[in-house]
């Protein structure tokens, strides 16, 4: 092992030690606070050490614990890390990687409430002071990048201006600490971002490269090593296109009474937060009335997005519901509602903010994941600066959240308009899978991908472009929605057939969730083998 993990005998322990050290911002979000004062090391020596950790980790894990889920997943994560360290989609080719890590290095210390305040303030100061060196090293790594990635990095760099200006002062006021605690360090970071922005807008923007395809080998790393999917790329695309055709065919049928894109109007001013809470209570009551799942004692608190980050948030990967930290989590988790004067329908509150994210979907799944026997399953789906910590958590995290919405509809919790809105979501989910694979096989460009979303998912031009750009940056990730959702539906049908009258829906869901954030296909294999052995 590299010197950063010397003296650690167990290969899986060494895997986590190296992961948290090389990914300090992810570690902060996960609730591991040993590296809160650091940003990733983007020097050539640092990247070389990270690659050495990967190679030594693969050697140590090779052949060890062949039947062990965590060791299998760790090998996949390491192979993906090796590609990310050497390829052009992350630190060595995507300027948005650095802007995201620098900004969320700061945000991660105050959005998750982890650790004592004095520790977080000191760590934040050190991270802010490290921004100039961090961004300078990022510039040294990148000669060219796709224009769409440069545009995203520019947007993030511009968003850092209000964050490290008035945003830091407001944060200090909210925390009841002197503004001087972070002011000078924030000024250092702001100046570094101004310099970085000038580089993005001039030097880097002059001669962009337009190819965003990661290639079939990279896709395999995420589809096979990450999601444990065995189908060929052609088969996955064909399946997704069939799912898209089916969804569009159903959408072509006459709509039931009610709006086609979801019911409800904007709640009255001053009443929005109550509608979130009431909807959350109603969806929990529905789940308990039908005995769908063991509901965790881990309440959500719907609160306005903090004033200190409100102006900057639209520029970043800023989530309403960010996964709680797997470790050192608070007893109540804050769900950061967008500014209360922004339009929101009752259907959006229910479908997106309650069922999919803050209730039966992600929140219930996360609570179960944190208690899972799999160490990787506990942390894989925690949100980082731009994606979840480990891709192998994706089919379970997003698959369950989308399945949860289907489940609520199955048990009468959705209006006709909401059911139809979910058909639109199904079409968008299938589009994501098609675009993901076709982009990274080089069979579709960004403009074609955006047009595909507009034509087949009915997305507005700006949203379609943004979705396509996100797909281009993270190969093999957008397929996880469709793959995970349908795998859970198939597993449920299989278990109903195998168990017959003994099948219990709540027990099925509790068992499924108990595995944590690991590939649904591997869970399915384990659960069906256990059922057949009875």
Query: Tokens in use for 360?
Result: 């039966």
Please give the pLDDT value at position 241.
98
Q: What is the residue whose two structure tokens read 């009841």? A: 176
Which one is predicted more confidently, 459 or 63?
A: 459
- The pLDDT > 90 percentage for the chain reads 90
The residue among 240, 231, 141 whose CA lies nearest residue 457 is 240
pLDDT over 90 at 280, yes or no = yes
Please give the pLDDT value at position 113.
72
Please give the pLDDT value at position 330.
85
Q: What is the residue whose two structure tokens read 């004067």? A: 341
pLDDT over 60 at 264, yes or no = no
Please give the pLDDT value at position 271.
83
CA distances from 442 to 210, 213, 468, 495 (A): 11, 5, 14, 39
| Distance from C-alpha of 189 to C-alpha of 131, rounded to nearest angstrom | 5
Please give the pLDDT value at position 342.
82
Please give the pLDDT value at position 261.
41
With contact defined as beta carbons under 8 Å apart, do 92 and 142 qualify?
A: yes
Please give the pLDDT value at position 65.
56
Each residue of 505-521: b (16+ CB within 10 Å) or e?
beebbeebbbbbbbbbb
Mean pLDDT to the nearest integer, 151-164: 96
pLDDT over 80 at 453, yes or no = yes
**In 223-340, at which residue ranges do the beta strands (DSSP E only) sit?**
300-304, 333-337
pLDDT over 90 at 451, yes or no = yes
Mean pLDDT to the nearest integer, 174-196: 97
pLDDT category, 337, cuts 50, 70, 90? very high
Mean pLDDT computed over every residue of the chain: 93
Please give the pLDDT value at position 256.
64
pLDDT over 60 at 135, yes or no = yes
The predicted-structure confidence for 297-309, as pLDDT tens digits, reads as follows 999 999 999 999 9
Query: Tokens in use for 368?
Result: 């179960």
Please give the pLDDT value at position 270.
57
The residue among 406, 330, 324, 386 whose CA lies nearest residue 358 is 324
| 3 state SS of 93 | coil
pLDDT category, 313, cuts 50, 70, 90? very high
Mean pLDDT to the nearest integer, 373-385: 97
| Distance from C-alpha of 434 to C-alpha of 427, rounded to nearest angstrom | 11
| Distance from C-alpha of 403 to C-alpha of 382, rounded to nearest angstrom | 19
pLDDT category, 210, cuts 50, 70, 90? confident
Locate the domains of the chain by residue range: 3-206, 216-485
pLDDT over 60 at 237, yes or no = yes
With contact defined as beta carbons under 8 Å apart, do 385 and 100 qualify?
A: yes
Lowest mean pLDDT: which of 105-109, 244-248, 260-264, 410-414? 260-264
pLDDT over 60 at 154, yes or no = yes
3-state secondary structure 317-383: CCCCCCCCCCCCCCCCEEEEECCCCCCCCHHHHHHHHHHHHHCCCHHHHHHHHCCCCCHHHHHCCCE
CA distances from 402 to 3, 102, 247, 456 (A): 43, 31, 15, 19
With contact defined as beta carbons under 8 Å apart, do 439 and 212 qualify?
A: yes
pLDDT over 60 at 262, yes or no = no
- Helices 44-61 & 69-86 angle (0-180, nearest 10): 150
């Amino acid at each position: 092992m590299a010197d950063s993990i010397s003296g650690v005998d167990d290969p899986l322990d060494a895997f986590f030690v190296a992961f948290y050290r090389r990914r300090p911002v992810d570690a902060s979000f996960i609730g591991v606070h040993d590296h809160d004062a650091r940003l990733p090391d983007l020097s050539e020596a640092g990247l070389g050490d990270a690659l050495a950790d990967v190679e030594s980790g693969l050697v140590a894990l090779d052949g060890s614990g062949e039947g062990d889920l965590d060791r299998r997943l760790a090998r996949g994560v390491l192979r993906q890390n090796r590609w990310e360290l050497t390829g052009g989609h992350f630190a060595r080719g995507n300027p948005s990687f650095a802007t995201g890590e620098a900004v969320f290095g700061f945000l991660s210390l105050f959005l998750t409430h982890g650790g004592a305040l004095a520790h977080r303030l000191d760590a934040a100061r050190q991270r802010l002071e490290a921004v100039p060196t961090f961004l300078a090293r990022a510039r040294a790594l990148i000669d060219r990048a796709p224009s769409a990635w440069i545009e995203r990095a520019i947007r993030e760099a511009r968003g850092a201006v209000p964050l490290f200006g008035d945003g830091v002062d407001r944060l200090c006021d909210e925390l009841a600490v002197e503004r001087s605690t972070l002011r000078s360090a924030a000024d250092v970071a702001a100046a570094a971002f101004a310099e970085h922005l000038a580089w993005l807008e001039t030097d880097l923007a002059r001669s962009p490269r337009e190819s965003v395809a990661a290639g079939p080998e990279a896709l395999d790393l995420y589809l096979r090593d990450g999601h444990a999917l065995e189908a060929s790329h052609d088969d996955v695309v064909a399946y997704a296109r069939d799912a898209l055709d089916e969804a569009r065919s159903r959408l072509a049928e006459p709509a039931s009474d009610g709006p086609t894109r979801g019911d409800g109007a904007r709640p009255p001013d001053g009443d929005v937060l109550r509608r979130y809470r009431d909807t959350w209570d109603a969806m929990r009551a529905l789940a308990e009335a039908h005995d769908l799942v063991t509901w965790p004692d881990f309440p959500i608190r719907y609160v306005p997005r903090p004033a200190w980050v409100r102006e900057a948030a639209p520029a970043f990967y800023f989530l309403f519901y960010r996964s709680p930290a797997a470790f050192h989590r608070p007893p109540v988790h804050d769900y950061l509602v967008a500014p209360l004067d922004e339009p929101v329908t009752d259907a959006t509150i229910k479908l997106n903010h309650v069922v999919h994210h803050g209730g039966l979907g992600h929140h219930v799944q996360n609570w179960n994941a944190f208690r899972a026997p799999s160490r990787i399953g506990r942390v894989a789906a925690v949100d980082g600066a731009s994606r979840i910590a480990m891709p192998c958590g994706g089919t379970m995290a997003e698959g369950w959240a989308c399945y949860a919405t289907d489940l609520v509809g199955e048990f009468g919790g959705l209006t006709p308009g909401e059911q139809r809105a979910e058909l639109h979501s199904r079409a968008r989910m299938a589009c994501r899978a098609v675009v993901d694979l076709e982009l990274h096989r080089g069979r579709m460009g960004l403009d074609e991908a955006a047009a595909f979303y507009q034509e087949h998912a009915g997305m507005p031009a700006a949203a379609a472009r943004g979705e396509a750009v996100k797909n281009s940056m993270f190969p093999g990730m957008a397929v996880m929605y469709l793959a995970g959702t349908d795998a859970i539906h198939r597993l449920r049908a299989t278990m109903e057939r195998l168990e017959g009258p003994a099948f219990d829906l709540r027990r099925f869901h509790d068992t499924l969730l108990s595995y944590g954030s690991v590939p649904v296909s591997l869970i399915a294999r384990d659960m069906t083998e256990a059922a057949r052995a009875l």
